[in-house]
Structure 1
Amino acid sequence: MYLPSFNLEGKRAFVTGAGRGIGRAIAIGLAEAGCVVGLMSRTRSDLEETAAIIQSLNKGGSIVLPGDLTKRTEMEGAIAEFVSQAGGIDILVNNAGMNIRTPALEVTDDEWELIVQTNLKSAFVASQAAARYMKEQKEGRIINIASVGGHTALRTGVVYGSTKAALIHMTKVLAMEWAQYGIQVNAVGPWYFRTPLTEKLLSDEAYLKDILDRTPMKRVGKLEEVVGPVVFLASDAANYMTGQTLLVDGGMSIYGF
């Protein structure tokens, strides 16, 4: 009686940036837990690869919804189409993100706008669109994939860090405002995980050494290690949590640098 269920059988989850990397892993993990998963990113072929993996599990299911998440009409349209096909939306995972590693003195307006649109505004637009349905259902879970870089200053680019810090704060504000509707809003803050986007960086021995020197556990994360916290936040085990950010960082943030 004291062990809440992590089973998400029959739940309907929508994941942005689901075509590869962390987003793909989260989508697959949610399907393994029993969800029907809406998959959104710009590249249909990537989403179809994710969908094929989900199909092979013989659990949950998926709906491929390619689109440009920086465009409000496409984001809102994808969520509306998912609700139409799945019959509702219980879980939203705002995972899509990007970085351009430019020194602060050299950041251009175009770089600023692209990173802010992708990492922050798209998450707000998706949350707003999903919350309209969740409000009617009187329940829902929104999970934002932030970064330890939104909690601790890192040499990863001022715009990226700023958007992730804003995403963490947005998580708190939406949690406070939408609790009255039964909507819980939480976040996960990863450190380095091996993905197609980080593999080139982590193949640089000097760069990897710097990362490991900052990480008490002395390794980078495995993709399944970020999936678990997302499934937890989506499940009954997290029924009394909202406005929180779980840092999945091998202890990096406890150093405070």
Structure 2
Amino acid sequence: MFRFFHVPRSRRCIAAALFVLAGLGAQPAAGLELPRARSVPGGVALVELGPALAAPQASLDGVPVLVTGRPGGWVAVVGIPLDASPGALTLEVRGEGAPLRRVEVAVAPVRYAEQRLKVAPGKVDLSAEDLARHERERLRSAEVIATWSAREPATLRMLQPVPGRRSGSFGLRRVFNDQPRKPHSGMDIAAPTGTPVVAAAAGRVIDTGDYFFNGNTVWLDHGNGVLSMYCHLSAIDVQPGDELAAGARIGAVGATGRVTGPHLHWSVMLNRTMVDPALFLADGSGAP
């Protein structure tokens, strides 16, 4: 003989949710290919956020952070600022119907090499006209960098945009004409002028232009705050709004802007932070 007891609907819903999470708990985070983790200034931290029916929202210093996964386990892909101090950053996480929680992200120390370069004096000691131009371009770049589209990237493992020798690595402490400047925020790849440059991953063109320091430049939006930038081009073959597949041509290697010779400067950005592109290379050839 069986007895049946009435269970309130709210409790049935909670029980069903717990059952779903229990069944998914052994499953890994979803299939989006992630970059290699390197939790140092200028690196990427992969932070496990645990199971939940819906993706939680995460932010670092008020800036949204990419979260990917599935109900059995979510992961925050955090770009660590190059000027971050070793120690810990605080990631703010809010799940649906859950209170705000704070997760510490450990940041290990790192020392990047120094690079000394000789360029035209006018590219270091700017005239009043060039300084005004640079300030206008800086404000424009800030708007581009703030781009956040709701689509999830197709992958976080990328193609090298041009074949060639790496002539400048991410994080180099650069000295131009014996004057220290900001650390290098991308990867330089030496190649002859005119060599085709391709999209490192599928994305939408969100900006093109001729910049004082970066020369002819293209920005791509890959989704959820993941951006990539391609600089010093001799030619730009795309325009804002174009949707590109991974490997699609965007332009050609050049020597525009502040350069010592033809090469591509390639940057990758997470949560408005430039991070080491080598961590995203699909074949592992750029591992630090």
Task: Using structure 2 for the length normalisation, give the TM-score.
Answer: 0.25
Which has a greater percent of helix? 1
Of Structure 1 and Structure 2, which has the larger fraction of its residues in strand? Answer: 2
- With normalisation by structure 1, the TM-score equals 0.27
